[in-house]
Amino acid sequence: RNFLFGSLLDGHRDQRNVRIRRLNHLLVLVRRCQSIR
C-alpha cells in the first residue's frame, strides 16, 4: 500500500513538472519573438 501511494505522489509531481516546463517554454518563445522585433 505504501508503494502504491508513493507512485501516485510521483505521478502528481510529474504532472506539475510538465506544466512548469510548458510555461517556461512559452516564456522562452515570447522572449525570442520580442528580441526579433
Number of domains, the chain: 1
Which tens digit of pLDDT belongs to each residue from 4-36? 777 877 887 888 889 999 999 999 999 999 997
Instruction: For residue 27, give its domain range.
Output: 1-37
- Given a cut of 90, is residue 3 above it in pLDDT? no
Q: What b/e sequence results for 26-35 when a residue is b if at least 16 CB atoms lie within 10 Å of its CB, and e otherwise?
A: eeeeeeeeee
Please tell me the pTM assigned to this model.
0.55
Q: Report in angstroms the alpha-carbon separations of 22 from 1, 7, 10.
A: 32, 23, 18
